[in-house]
A and B are shown apart, each in its own frame.
Chain A
Amino acid sequence: MAGPGGDMQWCFSQVKGAIDDDVAEADIISTVEFNHTGELLATGDKGGRVVIFQQEIENKNQPQFRSEYNVYSTFQSHEPEFDYLKSLEIEEKINKIRWLPQKNAAQFLLSTNDKTIKLWKISERDKRPEGYNLKEDDGRYKDPNTITSLRVPVLIPMDLMVEASPRRVFANAHTYHINSISVNSDNETYLSADDLRINLWHLEITDRSFNIVDIKPANMEELTEVITAAEFHPHQCNTFVYSSSKGTIRLCDMRASALCDKHSKLFEEPEDPSNRSFFSEIISSISDVKFSHNGRYMMTRDYLSMKIWDLNMENRPVETYQVHEYLRSKLCSLYENDCIFDKFECCWNGNDSVVMTGSYNNFFRMFDRGHRRDVTLEASRENSKPMQVLKPRKVCAGGKRKKDEISVDSLDFNKKILHTAWHPQDNIIAVATTNNLYIFQDKVN
Protein backbone atom coordinates (compact mmCIF):
# COMPACT_ATOMS: atom_id res chain seq x y z
CA MET A 1 0.00 0.00 0.00
CA ALA A 2 1.51 3.26 -1.05
CA GLY A 3 1.59 6.24 1.24
CA PRO A 4 3.20 9.67 1.17
CA GLY A 5 6.66 9.62 -0.32
CA GLY A 6 5.95 6.84 -2.74
CA ASP A 7 6.01 3.41 -1.19
CA MET A 8 6.78 4.66 2.28
CA GLN A 9 5.05 2.78 5.03
CA TRP A 10 5.22 3.85 8.61
CA CYS A 11 5.95 1.35 11.36
CA PHE A 12 5.83 1.53 15.08
CA SER A 13 9.27 1.72 16.62
CA GLN A 14 9.02 2.74 20.27
CA VAL A 15 6.74 4.37 22.81
CA LYS A 16 7.91 6.19 25.93
CA GLY A 17 5.91 7.06 28.98
CA ALA A 18 3.42 5.53 31.38
CA ILE A 19 0.59 3.31 30.25
CA ASP A 20 -1.94 4.27 32.89
CA ASP A 21 -4.86 6.42 31.87
CA ASP A 22 -4.60 8.67 34.87
CA VAL A 23 -2.32 11.37 33.55
CA ALA A 24 -0.55 13.61 36.05
CA GLU A 25 -0.53 17.17 34.79
CA ALA A 26 3.24 17.38 35.09
CA ASP A 27 3.60 14.53 32.61
CA ILE A 28 1.83 16.34 29.79
CA ILE A 29 4.36 16.69 26.99
CA SER A 30 4.64 20.28 25.83
CA THR A 31 7.42 20.23 23.24
CA VAL A 32 9.42 17.77 21.10
CA GLU A 33 12.55 18.59 19.12
CA PHE A 34 15.27 16.68 17.28
CA ASN A 35 18.75 18.18 17.26
CA HIS A 36 20.46 19.08 13.97
CA THR A 37 21.83 15.59 13.31
CA GLY A 38 18.80 13.75 14.62
CA GLU A 39 20.95 11.81 17.02
CA LEU A 40 19.26 13.48 19.99
CA LEU A 41 15.57 13.94 20.66
CA ALA A 42 14.45 16.28 23.44
CA THR A 43 11.06 16.53 25.10
CA GLY A 44 9.78 19.08 27.57
CA ASP A 45 6.76 18.69 29.82
CA LYS A 46 4.35 20.67 31.94
CA GLY A 47 6.35 19.83 35.04
CA GLY A 48 9.33 21.77 33.72
CA ARG A 49 11.39 18.66 33.02
CA VAL A 50 13.45 17.90 29.95
CA VAL A 51 14.18 14.36 28.81
CA ILE A 52 16.75 13.77 26.08
CA PHE A 53 16.89 10.54 24.12
CA GLN A 54 19.88 9.40 22.09
CA GLN A 55 19.72 7.30 18.97
CA GLU A 56 21.62 4.06 19.14
CA ILE A 57 21.87 2.50 15.75
CA GLU A 58 21.79 -1.25 16.15
CA ASN A 59 23.08 -2.26 12.80
CA LYS A 60 22.98 0.18 9.97
CA ASN A 61 24.23 -2.46 7.54
CA GLN A 62 21.11 -4.54 7.99
CA PRO A 63 18.43 -3.82 5.39
CA GLN A 64 15.84 -3.22 8.07
CA PHE A 65 17.82 -1.41 10.68
CA ARG A 66 16.12 -0.28 13.79
CA SER A 67 17.28 2.89 15.37
CA GLU A 68 16.38 2.94 19.01
CA TYR A 69 16.16 6.06 21.08
CA ASN A 70 17.13 5.57 24.69
CA VAL A 71 17.26 7.97 27.60
CA TYR A 72 20.44 10.01 27.50
CA SER A 73 19.80 12.71 30.07
CA THR A 74 16.96 14.17 32.10
CA PHE A 75 16.86 17.28 34.22
CA GLN A 76 14.59 19.85 35.79
CA SER A 77 14.83 22.86 33.53
CA HIS A 78 12.32 25.26 35.05
CA GLU A 79 10.53 25.48 38.37
CA PRO A 80 7.19 27.03 39.26
CA GLU A 81 7.41 30.64 40.39
CA PHE A 82 5.03 33.22 41.74
CA ASP A 83 5.48 36.86 40.86
CA TYR A 84 4.07 38.49 43.98
CA LEU A 85 4.31 41.99 42.56
CA LYS A 86 2.08 41.27 39.60
CA SER A 87 0.15 38.49 41.29
CA LEU A 88 1.11 36.20 38.48
CA GLU A 89 1.64 32.48 38.63
CA ILE A 90 4.53 31.50 36.37
CA GLU A 91 4.17 27.98 35.10
CA GLU A 92 7.19 25.76 34.83
CA LYS A 93 5.84 24.24 31.65
CA ILE A 94 8.47 24.09 28.91
CA ASN A 95 6.98 25.91 25.94
CA LYS A 96 9.81 25.34 23.50
CA ILE A 97 13.19 23.64 23.18
CA ARG A 98 15.63 24.61 20.46
CA TRP A 99 18.99 22.94 19.93
CA LEU A 100 22.13 24.83 19.05
CA PRO A 101 24.29 23.36 16.29
CA GLN A 102 27.09 21.38 17.84
CA LYS A 103 30.39 23.22 18.10
CA ASN A 104 32.40 21.00 20.42
CA ALA A 105 32.01 17.82 22.44
CA ALA A 106 29.12 19.19 24.45
CA GLN A 107 25.53 19.72 23.30
CA PHE A 108 23.61 22.90 23.99
CA LEU A 109 19.92 23.61 23.97
CA LEU A 110 17.67 26.53 24.82
CA SER A 111 14.55 25.79 26.82
CA THR A 112 11.93 28.30 27.80
CA ASN A 113 8.84 28.62 29.94
CA ASP A 114 6.49 31.63 29.87
CA LYS A 115 9.06 34.06 31.21
CA THR A 116 12.62 32.75 31.29
CA ILE A 117 14.91 31.20 28.70
CA LYS A 118 17.79 28.98 29.79
CA LEU A 119 20.81 27.70 27.93
CA TRP A 120 21.66 24.16 29.02
CA LYS A 121 24.94 22.40 28.42
CA ILE A 122 24.78 18.64 28.18
CA SER A 123 28.17 17.03 28.42
CA GLU A 124 29.55 13.55 28.79
CA ARG A 125 32.00 12.45 31.36
CA ASP A 126 33.62 9.07 30.84
CA LYS A 127 36.89 9.54 32.66
CA ARG A 128 37.77 10.58 36.15
CA PRO A 129 41.02 11.63 37.71
CA GLU A 130 42.73 9.39 40.24
CA GLY A 131 45.87 9.75 42.29
CA TYR A 132 45.64 13.21 43.74
CA ASN A 133 48.46 14.29 45.98
CA LEU A 134 46.42 16.09 48.61
CA LYS A 135 43.25 14.01 48.61
CA GLU A 136 42.46 10.37 49.26
CA ASP A 137 40.49 8.51 46.60
CA ASP A 138 37.30 9.00 48.59
CA GLY A 139 37.81 12.77 48.73
CA ARG A 140 39.10 13.21 52.25
CA TYR A 141 42.02 15.55 52.56
CA LYS A 142 45.33 14.01 53.53
CA ASP A 143 47.46 15.33 56.32
CA PRO A 144 50.14 17.23 54.36
CA ASN A 145 52.80 15.99 56.75
CA THR A 146 52.28 12.41 55.55
CA ILE A 147 53.08 13.25 51.95
CA THR A 148 56.59 12.25 51.06
CA SER A 149 56.48 12.12 47.27
CA LEU A 150 54.64 13.70 44.38
CA ARG A 151 52.76 11.89 41.66
CA VAL A 152 50.87 12.96 38.56
CA PRO A 153 47.14 12.16 38.74
CA VAL A 154 45.91 9.98 35.89
CA LEU A 155 42.57 9.84 34.10
CA ILE A 156 40.94 6.46 34.30
CA PRO A 157 37.82 5.35 32.47
CA MET A 158 34.50 5.34 34.27
CA ASP A 159 30.88 4.62 33.41
CA LEU A 160 29.45 7.24 31.12
CA MET A 161 27.82 10.06 33.02
CA VAL A 162 25.78 12.69 31.21
CA GLU A 163 25.55 15.99 33.00
CA ALA A 164 23.24 18.89 32.30
CA SER A 165 24.12 22.30 33.66
CA PRO A 166 22.47 25.68 33.12
CA ARG A 167 25.05 27.93 31.50
CA ARG A 168 22.93 31.04 30.94
CA VAL A 169 19.66 32.31 32.29
CA PHE A 170 17.94 34.93 30.15
CA ALA A 171 15.33 36.45 32.41
CA ASN A 172 13.13 39.50 32.94
CA ALA A 173 12.73 40.49 29.33
CA HIS A 174 9.14 39.49 28.73
CA THR A 175 6.04 41.03 30.23
CA TYR A 176 3.81 38.61 28.36
CA HIS A 177 4.05 34.88 27.77
CA ILE A 178 6.86 33.56 25.62
CA ASN A 179 5.52 31.43 22.78
CA SER A 180 8.63 30.98 20.60
CA ILE A 181 12.39 30.92 20.58
CA SER A 182 14.50 30.59 17.47
CA VAL A 183 18.27 30.30 17.09
CA ASN A 184 19.74 32.42 14.33
CA SER A 185 21.85 30.92 11.56
CA ASP A 186 24.68 33.17 12.74
CA ASN A 187 24.93 30.91 15.77
CA GLU A 188 25.43 33.91 18.00
CA THR A 189 21.97 35.31 18.49
CA TYR A 190 18.45 34.07 19.00
CA LEU A 191 15.01 35.60 19.27
CA SER A 192 12.29 35.13 21.84
CA ALA A 193 8.70 36.13 21.15
CA ASP A 194 5.80 36.76 23.50
CA ASP A 195 2.24 37.86 22.72
CA LEU A 196 3.22 41.43 21.93
CA ARG A 197 6.98 41.67 21.62
CA ILE A 198 10.01 40.00 20.10
CA ASN A 199 13.46 40.30 21.62
CA LEU A 200 16.87 39.58 20.14
CA TRP A 201 19.49 38.08 22.43
CA HIS A 202 23.14 37.27 22.17
CA LEU A 203 23.83 33.79 23.49
CA GLU A 204 26.67 35.07 25.64
CA ILE A 205 24.87 38.05 27.16
CA THR A 206 22.12 37.59 29.70
CA ASP A 207 21.63 41.03 31.17
CA ARG A 208 20.25 42.71 28.11
CA SER A 209 18.35 42.06 24.91
CA PHE A 210 17.20 44.18 22.01
CA ASN A 211 13.52 44.64 21.36
CA ILE A 212 12.98 44.18 17.64
CA VAL A 213 9.19 44.01 17.38
CA ASP A 214 6.64 45.74 19.58
CA ILE A 215 2.98 45.57 18.63
CA LYS A 216 1.59 46.71 21.94
CA PRO A 217 -0.89 49.52 21.25
CA ALA A 218 -0.71 52.69 23.32
CA ASN A 219 -4.22 51.98 24.47
CA MET A 220 -4.81 48.31 25.30
CA GLU A 221 -8.46 48.71 24.37
CA GLU A 222 -7.27 48.93 20.79
CA LEU A 223 -5.59 45.54 20.91
CA THR A 224 -6.69 43.52 17.91
CA GLU A 225 -4.05 40.89 17.43
CA VAL A 226 -1.20 39.11 19.19
CA ILE A 227 1.99 37.41 18.06
CA THR A 228 1.54 33.66 18.00
CA ALA A 229 4.89 32.35 16.70
CA ALA A 230 8.22 33.56 15.35
CA GLU A 231 11.18 32.00 13.59
CA PHE A 232 14.49 33.01 12.06
CA HIS A 233 15.17 32.20 8.42
CA PRO A 234 17.37 29.07 8.24
CA HIS A 235 20.10 30.77 6.16
CA GLN A 236 19.55 34.53 6.11
CA CYS A 237 20.56 35.78 9.52
CA ASN A 238 18.85 39.13 8.99
CA THR A 239 15.40 37.68 8.25
CA PHE A 240 12.70 36.42 10.56
CA VAL A 241 8.94 35.95 10.42
CA TYR A 242 6.19 36.22 12.99
CA SER A 243 2.60 35.07 12.76
CA SER A 244 -0.48 36.60 14.32
CA SER A 245 -3.80 35.61 15.81
CA LYS A 246 -5.45 37.18 12.78
CA GLY A 247 -3.86 34.73 10.36
CA THR A 248 -1.20 36.99 8.92
CA ILE A 249 2.55 36.48 8.73
CA ARG A 250 5.04 39.31 8.66
CA LEU A 251 8.56 38.92 7.36
CA CYS A 252 11.06 41.37 8.77
CA ASP A 253 14.56 42.36 7.77
CA MET A 254 16.76 43.46 10.64
CA ARG A 255 18.96 45.45 8.28
CA ALA A 256 16.08 47.82 7.55
CA SER A 257 15.89 49.32 11.03
CA ALA A 258 16.58 48.60 14.66
CA LEU A 259 12.90 48.22 15.45
CA CYS A 260 11.20 45.98 12.92
CA ASP A 261 7.66 47.16 13.54
CA LYS A 262 7.34 47.83 9.83
CA HIS A 263 7.35 44.54 8.02
CA SER A 264 9.19 43.91 4.78
CA LYS A 265 6.51 41.49 3.61
CA LEU A 266 3.00 40.76 4.79
CA PHE A 267 1.57 37.37 3.93
CA GLU A 268 -2.18 37.26 4.03
CA GLU A 269 -4.77 35.27 2.15
CA PRO A 270 -7.74 37.40 1.16
CA GLU A 271 -10.94 36.29 2.84
CA ASP A 272 -14.37 36.22 1.28
CA PRO A 273 -16.33 38.62 3.51
CA SER A 274 -19.58 36.77 2.89
CA ASN A 275 -18.07 33.67 4.49
CA ARG A 276 -17.14 35.50 7.63
CA SER A 277 -18.59 34.13 10.85
CA PHE A 278 -18.07 34.42 14.57
CA PHE A 279 -15.43 31.73 14.33
CA SER A 280 -13.51 33.05 11.33
CA GLU A 281 -10.87 34.96 13.20
CA ILE A 282 -10.43 32.34 15.89
CA ILE A 283 -9.81 29.52 13.43
CA SER A 284 -7.57 31.66 11.27
CA SER A 285 -5.21 32.27 14.19
CA ILE A 286 -1.85 30.76 13.28
CA SER A 287 -0.55 28.36 15.90
CA ASP A 288 2.80 27.56 14.31
CA VAL A 289 5.08 28.83 11.55
CA LYS A 290 8.06 26.89 10.19
CA PHE A 291 10.48 27.67 7.40
CA SER A 292 11.28 24.88 4.98
CA HIS A 293 14.82 23.52 5.25
CA ASN A 294 15.75 25.07 1.91
CA GLY A 295 14.56 28.47 3.09
CA ARG A 296 12.30 29.11 0.08
CA TYR A 297 8.98 28.36 1.73
CA MET A 298 7.28 28.65 5.05
CA MET A 299 4.40 26.68 6.45
CA THR A 300 1.67 27.93 8.77
CA ARG A 301 -0.81 25.93 10.81
CA ASP A 302 -4.19 27.33 11.72
CA TYR A 303 -7.02 25.46 13.36
CA LEU A 304 -8.29 23.54 10.36
CA SER A 305 -5.54 23.69 7.78
CA MET A 306 -1.87 23.92 6.89
CA LYS A 307 -0.68 26.43 4.32
CA ILE A 308 2.57 26.59 2.45
CA TRP A 309 3.74 30.01 1.35
CA ASP A 310 6.33 30.91 -1.23
CA LEU A 311 8.40 33.68 0.36
CA ASN A 312 8.20 35.54 -2.93
CA MET A 313 4.42 35.63 -2.99
CA GLU A 314 2.53 37.47 -0.30
CA ASN A 315 -1.03 37.46 -1.50
CA ARG A 316 -1.85 33.81 -1.07
CA PRO A 317 -0.34 30.46 -0.10
CA VAL A 318 0.89 28.16 -2.86
CA GLU A 319 -0.55 25.08 -1.19
CA THR A 320 -3.35 24.54 1.32
CA TYR A 321 -3.98 21.25 3.08
CA GLN A 322 -7.14 20.50 5.04
CA VAL A 323 -6.21 18.75 8.24
CA HIS A 324 -9.66 17.98 9.62
CA GLU A 325 -12.25 19.92 7.63
CA TYR A 326 -15.01 17.80 9.18
CA LEU A 327 -14.59 19.86 12.34
CA ARG A 328 -16.01 22.93 10.64
CA SER A 329 -19.52 21.75 11.45
CA LYS A 330 -18.55 21.18 15.09
CA LEU A 331 -17.14 24.61 15.83
CA CYS A 332 -19.85 25.47 18.31
CA SER A 333 -19.01 22.60 20.66
CA LEU A 334 -15.30 23.03 20.03
CA TYR A 335 -15.66 26.62 21.18
CA GLU A 336 -17.54 25.55 24.29
CA ASN A 337 -14.96 23.00 25.32
CA ASP A 338 -12.10 25.34 24.39
CA CYS A 339 -10.64 22.93 21.86
CA ILE A 340 -10.92 25.64 19.22
CA PHE A 341 -7.99 27.32 20.97
CA ASP A 342 -5.72 24.26 20.77
CA LYS A 343 -2.35 25.14 19.29
CA PHE A 344 -1.19 22.52 16.83
CA GLU A 345 2.37 22.52 15.56
CA CYS A 346 3.60 21.40 12.16
CA CYS A 347 6.85 20.18 10.67
CA TRP A 348 8.69 19.46 7.42
CA ASN A 349 10.59 16.33 6.56
CA GLY A 350 14.29 16.61 5.75
CA ASN A 351 13.93 17.34 2.05
CA ASP A 352 10.75 19.44 2.36
CA SER A 353 8.68 16.99 0.34
CA VAL A 354 6.30 15.95 3.12
CA VAL A 355 4.66 17.95 5.90
CA MET A 356 3.06 16.66 9.07
CA THR A 357 0.78 17.86 11.80
CA GLY A 358 -1.39 16.46 14.58
CA SER A 359 -5.13 16.22 15.11
CA TYR A 360 -7.58 14.73 17.63
CA ASN A 361 -8.20 11.15 18.67
CA ASN A 362 -4.40 10.71 18.62
CA PHE A 363 -4.50 10.99 14.86
CA PHE A 364 -1.78 12.73 12.92
CA ARG A 365 -1.69 13.70 9.27
CA MET A 366 0.98 13.71 6.60
CA PHE A 367 0.77 15.45 3.25
CA ASP A 368 3.08 14.50 0.41
CA ARG A 369 3.47 17.70 -1.56
CA GLY A 370 4.89 16.15 -4.70
CA HIS A 371 2.64 13.13 -5.02
CA ARG A 372 -0.43 14.99 -3.79
CA ARG A 373 -1.19 12.23 -1.33
CA ASP A 374 -2.15 12.43 2.29
CA VAL A 375 -2.61 9.93 5.06
CA THR A 376 -4.07 9.84 8.54
CA LEU A 377 -2.29 7.65 11.07
CA GLU A 378 -2.90 6.94 14.73
CA ALA A 379 -0.54 6.86 17.69
CA SER A 380 -1.96 4.19 19.89
CA ARG A 381 -0.76 1.42 22.17
CA GLU A 382 -2.98 -0.92 20.20
CA ASN A 383 -0.63 -0.63 17.25
CA SER A 384 2.54 -0.99 19.22
CA LYS A 385 4.02 -4.31 18.23
CA PRO A 386 7.63 -3.93 17.08
CA MET A 387 7.77 -2.83 13.44
CA GLN A 388 4.00 -3.09 13.14
CA VAL A 389 2.88 -1.21 10.04
CA LEU A 390 0.43 1.59 10.77
CA LYS A 391 -2.86 1.28 9.02
CA PRO A 392 -4.25 4.48 7.52
CA ARG A 393 -7.28 5.83 9.39
CA LYS A 394 -10.33 7.51 7.96
CA VAL A 395 -12.84 9.83 9.55
CA CYS A 396 -16.39 9.71 8.29
CA ALA A 397 -17.73 13.24 8.07
CA GLY A 398 -21.34 12.36 7.57
CA GLY A 399 -23.66 9.94 5.89
CA LYS A 400 -23.02 6.25 5.93
CA ARG A 401 -20.01 5.18 7.91
CA LYS A 402 -17.97 2.51 6.23
CA LYS A 403 -16.34 -0.29 8.16
CA ASP A 404 -13.03 0.78 9.75
CA GLU A 405 -14.03 4.43 9.54
CA ILE A 406 -14.60 6.44 12.67
CA SER A 407 -17.37 8.99 12.86
CA VAL A 408 -16.68 12.59 13.86
CA ASP A 409 -18.84 12.25 16.96
CA SER A 410 -16.75 9.33 18.20
CA LEU A 411 -13.51 11.27 18.11
CA ASP A 412 -11.87 11.78 21.47
CA PHE A 413 -11.05 15.48 21.69
CA ASN A 414 -9.01 14.97 24.83
CA LYS A 415 -6.52 12.92 22.87
CA LYS A 416 -4.75 15.65 20.96
CA ILE A 417 -1.46 15.48 19.15
CA LEU A 418 -0.12 19.01 19.31
CA HIS A 419 3.60 18.29 18.99
CA THR A 420 5.34 16.31 16.28
CA ALA A 421 8.91 16.30 15.00
CA TRP A 422 10.66 14.85 11.97
CA HIS A 423 14.25 13.64 11.96
CA PRO A 424 16.31 16.12 9.92
CA GLN A 425 17.59 13.48 7.49
CA ASP A 426 15.84 10.14 7.91
CA ASN A 427 12.25 9.05 7.91
CA ILE A 428 11.94 8.84 11.65
CA ILE A 429 9.21 10.81 13.38
CA ALA A 430 8.46 11.59 17.00
CA VAL A 431 4.79 12.07 17.85
CA ALA A 432 3.66 13.21 21.28
CA THR A 433 0.27 12.24 22.61
CA THR A 434 -0.80 13.75 25.93
CA ASN A 435 1.80 11.96 28.01
CA ASN A 436 3.44 9.43 25.70
CA LEU A 437 6.10 9.83 23.05
CA TYR A 438 5.80 7.59 20.01
CA ILE A 439 8.63 7.01 17.59
CA PHE A 440 7.78 5.72 14.13
CA GLN A 441 10.04 4.97 11.21
CA ASP A 442 9.46 3.98 7.65
CA LYS A 443 9.76 0.35 6.70
CA VAL A 444 12.76 0.00 4.47
CA ASN A 445 11.63 -2.41 1.82
Chain B
Amino acid sequence: MSGEMEETRTAEEQQEMEDKVISPEKAEEAKLKARYPNLGAKPGGSDLLRKRLQKGQKYFDSGDYNMAKAKMKNKQLPSAPTEKTEITGGHIPTPQDLPQRKTSIVASKLAG
Protein backbone atom coordinates (compact mmCIF):
# COMPACT_ATOMS: atom_id res chain seq x y z
CA MET B 1 0.00 0.00 0.00
CA SER B 2 1.55 3.23 -1.12
CA GLY B 3 2.03 6.04 1.33
CA GLU B 4 2.70 8.82 -1.15
CA MET B 5 -0.65 10.57 -0.82
CA GLU B 6 -1.04 10.22 2.92
CA GLU B 7 -0.70 13.88 3.72
CA THR B 8 -3.72 14.76 1.55
CA ARG B 9 -6.11 12.41 3.37
CA THR B 10 -8.15 13.49 6.36
CA ALA B 11 -7.95 11.53 9.58
CA GLU B 12 -11.44 10.14 8.93
CA GLU B 13 -10.59 8.83 5.51
CA GLN B 14 -7.45 7.34 6.95
CA GLN B 15 -9.49 5.50 9.59
CA GLU B 16 -11.94 4.27 6.96
CA MET B 17 -9.14 2.96 4.81
CA GLU B 18 -7.55 1.31 7.77
CA ASP B 19 -10.85 -0.29 8.61
CA LYS B 20 -11.12 -1.65 5.10
CA VAL B 21 -7.62 -3.01 5.26
CA ILE B 22 -8.06 -4.42 8.72
CA SER B 23 -11.47 -5.84 8.11
CA PRO B 24 -12.71 -6.88 4.67
CA GLU B 25 -15.73 -8.13 6.61
CA LYS B 26 -16.72 -4.61 7.59
CA ALA B 27 -16.38 -3.51 3.98
CA GLU B 28 -18.70 -6.32 2.94
CA GLU B 29 -21.12 -5.33 5.67
CA ALA B 30 -21.18 -1.78 4.38
CA LYS B 31 -21.92 -3.10 0.90
CA LEU B 32 -24.80 -5.19 2.18
CA LYS B 33 -26.31 -2.37 4.22
CA ALA B 34 -26.08 -0.11 1.17
CA ARG B 35 -28.08 -2.58 -0.89
CA TYR B 36 -30.61 -3.51 1.75
CA PRO B 37 -31.17 -0.59 4.11
CA ASN B 38 -34.09 -2.42 5.72
CA LEU B 39 -31.96 -5.26 6.94
CA GLY B 40 -32.54 -5.88 10.63
CA ALA B 41 -29.94 -4.96 13.18
CA LYS B 42 -29.85 -8.41 14.72
CA PRO B 43 -28.60 -10.59 11.88
CA GLY B 44 -27.96 -13.88 13.56
CA GLY B 45 -30.87 -13.46 15.85
CA SER B 46 -34.45 -14.56 15.97
CA ASP B 47 -35.45 -13.94 12.36
CA LEU B 48 -32.82 -16.08 10.70
CA LEU B 49 -33.10 -18.80 13.29
CA ARG B 50 -36.86 -18.95 13.13
CA LYS B 51 -36.67 -19.17 9.36
CA ARG B 52 -34.35 -22.13 9.79
CA LEU B 53 -36.65 -23.82 12.26
CA GLN B 54 -39.61 -23.43 9.97
CA LYS B 55 -37.95 -24.94 6.95
CA GLY B 56 -40.39 -27.10 5.08
CA GLN B 57 -43.44 -25.31 6.36
CA LYS B 58 -45.70 -24.69 3.43
CA TYR B 59 -48.82 -23.07 4.75
CA PHE B 60 -49.60 -21.46 8.06
CA ASP B 61 -53.26 -20.64 8.38
CA SER B 62 -56.12 -18.88 6.64
CA GLY B 63 -54.80 -15.50 7.71
CA ASP B 64 -51.51 -16.33 6.09
CA TYR B 65 -53.36 -17.50 3.00
CA ASN B 66 -55.22 -14.22 2.62
CA MET B 67 -52.12 -12.15 3.20
CA ALA B 68 -50.24 -14.15 0.62
CA LYS B 69 -53.08 -13.74 -1.85
CA ALA B 70 -52.99 -9.97 -1.36
CA LYS B 71 -49.23 -9.90 -1.70
CA MET B 72 -49.27 -11.95 -4.88
CA LYS B 73 -51.59 -9.40 -6.47
CA ASN B 74 -49.14 -6.58 -5.79
CA LYS B 75 -46.06 -8.64 -6.48
CA GLN B 76 -43.62 -7.26 -9.02
CA LEU B 77 -40.08 -8.51 -8.95
CA PRO B 78 -39.10 -10.34 -5.82
CA SER B 79 -36.87 -8.07 -3.81
CA ALA B 80 -34.12 -9.65 -1.79
CA PRO B 81 -34.83 -7.96 1.55
CA THR B 82 -38.36 -9.34 1.63
CA GLU B 83 -37.09 -12.82 0.93
CA LYS B 84 -34.59 -12.54 3.68
CA THR B 85 -36.93 -11.33 6.39
CA GLU B 86 -40.28 -12.96 5.63
CA ILE B 87 -40.89 -16.27 7.22
CA THR B 88 -44.17 -17.55 5.81
CA GLY B 89 -46.83 -16.36 3.49
CA GLY B 90 -44.96 -16.40 0.22
CA HIS B 91 -46.80 -19.41 -1.13
CA ILE B 92 -50.49 -19.57 -1.83
CA PRO B 93 -51.88 -23.00 -1.09
CA THR B 94 -54.23 -24.52 -3.57
CA PRO B 95 -55.38 -28.11 -3.82
CA GLN B 96 -53.34 -28.51 -6.99
CA ASP B 97 -50.26 -27.31 -5.15
CA LEU B 98 -50.49 -29.80 -2.37
CA PRO B 99 -47.49 -32.01 -2.71
CA GLN B 100 -48.22 -35.31 -4.32
CA ARG B 101 -44.70 -36.39 -3.93
CA LYS B 102 -44.01 -39.95 -4.65
CA THR B 103 -40.97 -41.98 -3.85
CA SER B 104 -38.29 -41.92 -6.48
CA ILE B 105 -38.63 -45.34 -8.04
CA VAL B 106 -35.59 -44.65 -10.15
CA ALA B 107 -32.44 -46.17 -8.75
CA SER B 108 -29.59 -43.91 -7.73
CA LYS B 109 -27.19 -43.12 -10.55
CA LEU B 110 -24.33 -43.88 -8.18
CA ALA B 111 -25.35 -47.53 -8.41
CA GLY B 112 -25.37 -47.48 -12.18
Contact = CB atoms under 8 A, between A and B. Distances in A.
Interface of A: 16-18, 26-27, 29, 43, 45, 47-49, 51, 71, 74, 76, 79-80, 82, 86-92, 114, 176-177, 195-196, 220-226, 245-246, 275, 277-282, 285, 328-332, 335-336, 435, 437
A51 B110 contact: yes
A25 to B, nearest CB: 10
20 contacts: A17-B112, A18-B112, A26-B106, A43-B108, A51-B108, A51-B110, A74-B110, A80-B99, A80-B102, A82-B99, A87-B57, A88-B56, A88-B57, A195-B53, A224-B45, A224-B46, A226-B53, A281-B43, A332-B31, A336-B35
B49 A278 contact: no
A92 B103 contact: yes
A324 to B, nearest CB: 13
A202 B35 CA distance: 51
A348 B108 CA distance: 28
Contacts of B60: 87
B79 to A, nearest CB: 12
A49 B98 CA distance: 23
Given A26-B104, A49-B104, A51-B108, A226 B58 contact: no
A434 to B, nearest CB: 12
Given A51-B108, A88-B57, A221 B28 contact: no
Given A195-B53, A277-B25, A277-B26, 6 more contacts: A49-B108, A74-B110, A89-B99, A177-B56, A282-B43, A332-B28
Task: In the A-B complex, list the 10 residue pairs whose CB atoms are closest, starting with the nearest.
Answer: A281-B44, A329-B24, A80-B101, A331-B28, A47-B104, A332-B28, A18-B109, A278-B29, A332-B31, A277-B25
A245 B104 contact: no
Contacts of B101: 80, 82, 89
A220 B56 CA distance: 18
Interface string B7-49: 0000000000000001111111101110100010001111011
B53 A17 contact: no
A435 B23 CA distance: 36
A47 B108 contact: yes
Nearest to B26: A277
Nearest to A15: B110
A278 B108 contact: no
A278 B32 contact: yes
Contact of A279 (B28, B106, B108): B28
Contacts of B49: 223-226, 245
A245 B98 CA distance: 32
B68 to A, nearest CB: 13
Q: Which of B32, B50, B60, B106 has the most CB of A within 10 A?
A: B32
Contacts of B48: 282
Interface centre among B25, B32, B103 (most CB of A within 10 A): B25
A278 B106 contact: no
